[in-house]
A and B are shown apart, each in its own frame.
Chain A
């Protein structure tokens, strides 16, 4: 097992209130947008959209931060609902735009919504099937949640991140629930 020194205080902390809030928020989203059987429980922590954003790998035109007026819908009283499109980066029509949206829900809560699409080596197919000779395009939406642990204005004051991953990890039509106990969703 590869492992490292603990680098950042708070990293790897157990699930707690932040996850609970994230789950609540995403379940709400799913109820509106996703069929019931897509209940996602492939929740990743630590890195993903968050770290890519922190690294500056998503910058400028690839990110959009919604300020309070947009989030409240005040900008579009005349033109109607605001529609945000997150294009995959590997398609020409994306032009590198809107892969990520950050929403500040409250003073101490942030939601990150992202789209990613990448070719990825993996086995594919139904459990038990010998379908090794395949490489899937992994794609889908991810949502990460951050909450401020204390009143400080430093990065270290934030934590309890979680990620609900809608990505198709294996195959085109993933199931939200693991097929066997202790396994990952397919």
Chain B
């Protein structure tokens, strides 16, 4: 038995349901294993389904079938089981429950709860969540055993010690031939799919044995309909089949055709994968990529495919781009107002319009269809005695892994404020504040601002960037002297105009506010793409849920200034029945309860954070969501006032810390350059 923390020591292995029998009437598990089961060993799990665990209680010499709420039943283990010899274990669930070790049927201890018998008598239900070899949870250890053979059979495996049982299983499996996908057809045709269009996918193939096949179509990045849980995963549709009906693939009697339909609400390159199983262990898959264009992207210069980064080259920042429409008239008008000629707007090969490649969201097919093994090495940074990796533990991996994680945005408002000295009254170049129910007139007649973030404004931020910019920018053109007195985001628009005429000026004046111009395709798309890139496709967000604005009283029993903002946001989520993976509360600062930071998060256990901006910049949003994942800051160390390497790295001239500055890091992802703070 392996005692080291190596790649050979498996903590758990999981086998996907898709590869298991889909409609079994009988069900047996056959194992050949060498178990270490001394009396001192803890209770441990040999293997489990989501609703049933086969456990060892070595001290009591018991094998237990634990069905949780369905009850449990125990069997007496033979004396020599677990002393280092190779044993066979057969657990037959259906049609009747029986446990056999090395040819001997085990004695039942106590009784068998009826609910448990009902559970084990339903093989389809048992197998519907796949199988874990070892313990699926961190709280109970896996049994310590070398497992030489593990078979799942849709038959009754006899209780016998001779080798014929294994031979029979091997022979049965060897006779089965897997299905094959010959072709995946996409309609509409290539390069003619636009946002919102129904996309029909058809997989054509055959099963050489003529088995009925089970197909799944996975649309990576698409949200399953009606999902409201913290993690929704990708849209997975069961295929509708026509076995041998009008399909000519080799022997037409063994051919199949399956299809599914979905539409894409956002542009980009997406991957659709079809899984095919014959229900006897034979599986295959095929991939098809579709390019979904913005509405109106019909030529002659179409948006190029594809970019893998959310960051566009600097010179194109701020160019009006619509998130679902290609160069609509409103965008051309905006461009004209900003100084771009129509010729440029129509002719330029725009980096900012390049379609994002979401296909990285598709994992290696082996991760979905094969036995997935978690070794001790996988769970530790560098083997025994080194830090464990939270992302590889059953308890903590939901913090950092998963697709379509729910994000909730909670706008906070202070309706009692009647003076701009009470609250950091907010405005934005989109002009959103003009329609805010919490708007106030700024002193000196310089427009209005809002003492609260609003649901409508937050939704505007998610989807749009560009049109309203022009209103504000044009306004500034006429009143250049107002730059200095304006708020953060209004200044951004003004600075943008300066940049058009003087690059150098922009470098030193505009860098502070360039962030708000980064939202070339909307707040959500941008942070979504940044997380997808940084995680190599292992983390993605669902389109955010925006709550109605939450009104905060001036006086609050909360002594903690952070809770003054966080508390009402959390209560609102609870009240609305929204349990997101992460929340971001967007709020002006109330000066009588001024937090020491512009944004903050209490880490994974807090479930989110607060950003003191109604229109959160990408940097702030990414940073606080990074804390929600569990990340620390992206500090950089640099030489202190020197251009020569010191003799002693820690001596004079050695490195000093520069906070929040590793621009390759998600935690400082969008600060850009030029010492942006």
Contact = CB atoms under 8 A, between A and B. Distances in A.
A65 B7 contact: yes
Interface in B381-413: 381-383, 385-392, 397, 399-401
A59 B664 CA distance: 20
A48 B381 contact: no
Interface stretch (B255-263, B277-285, B550-558, B596-604): B596-604
B636 A44 contact: yes
A4 B664 CA distance: 20
Interface stretch (B15-23, B90-98, B160-168, B644-652): B644-652
B388 to A, nearest CB: 6
B598 A45 contact: no
Interface string B327-340: 00000000000000
Contact of A54 (B385, B389, B536, B624): B389
Given A55-B400, A57-B534, A123-B673, A5 B645 contact: no
A2 interface: yes
Given A48-B665, A55-B400, A120-B311, A42 B538 contact: no
Nearest to A60: B378
B382 A56 contact: no
B312 interface: yes
A96 B535 CA distance: 13
A155 B638 contact: no
Given A55-B535, A119-B309, A178-B639, A67 B662 contact: no
B529 to A, nearest CB: 12
Interface string B569-599: 0000000000000000000000000001111
B302 interface: no
B604 to A, nearest CB: 9
Given A1-B598, A104-B382, A19 B650 contact: yes
A2 B660 contact: yes
Given A67-B4, A121-B672, A7 B644 contact: no
A63 to B, nearest CB: 7
A61 to B, nearest CB: 8
B638 A42 contact: yes
B309 A118 contact: yes
Interface stretch (B194-202, B439-447, B449-457, B626-634): B626-634
Contact of A45 (B383, B624, B657): B657
A146 interface: yes
Nearest to B388: A155
Interface string B599-641: 1111100000100000000011001100101111111111111
Interface residues of B, number: 90
A107 B597 contact: no
A110 B623 CA distance: 27
A3 B598 contact: yes
Contact of B382 (A103, A155, A180): A103
B428 interface: no
A177 B639 contact: yes
B636 A43 contact: yes
Dominant SS at the B interface? loop
Interface string B539-570: 10000000000000000000000100000000
A23 B309 contact: no
Interface string B43-65: 00000000000000000000000
B381 A110 contact: yes
Contacts of B315: 132-133
A23 to B, nearest CB: 4
Interface in A88-112: 89-90, 96, 102-104, 107, 110, 112
A11 B630 CA distance: 12
Given A7-B603, A110-B381, A55 B313 contact: no
A182 B640 contact: yes
Contact of A55 (B309, B382, B386, B629): B629
Contacts of A7: 601-603, 627, 632
Contact of A133 (B308, B314, B390, B666): B314
Contacts of B645: 39, 41, 176-177
B650 A15 contact: yes
A179 interface: yes
A45 B390 CA distance: 19
Contacts of A61: 364
A137 B386 CA distance: 33
Interface in A1-22: 1-5, 7-8, 11-12, 14-15, 19-20
B643 interface: yes
Q: Which of A112, A121, A130 has the most CB of B within 10 A?
A: A121
Given A15-B657, A42-B636, A112-B382, 4 more contacts: A56-B390, A59-B392, A62-B536, A184-B638
Pick the 8 closest A-B CB pairs, nearest first.
Answer: A56-B391, A121-B311, A55-B400, A43-B637, A102-B382, A23-B649, A104-B382, A119-B309
16 contacts: A4-B609, A5-B600, A7-B627, A23-B649, A46-B633, A48-B662, A48-B664, A53-B381, A55-B539, A57-B536, A59-B378, A59-B392, A110-B387, A116-B664, A123-B673, A135-B312
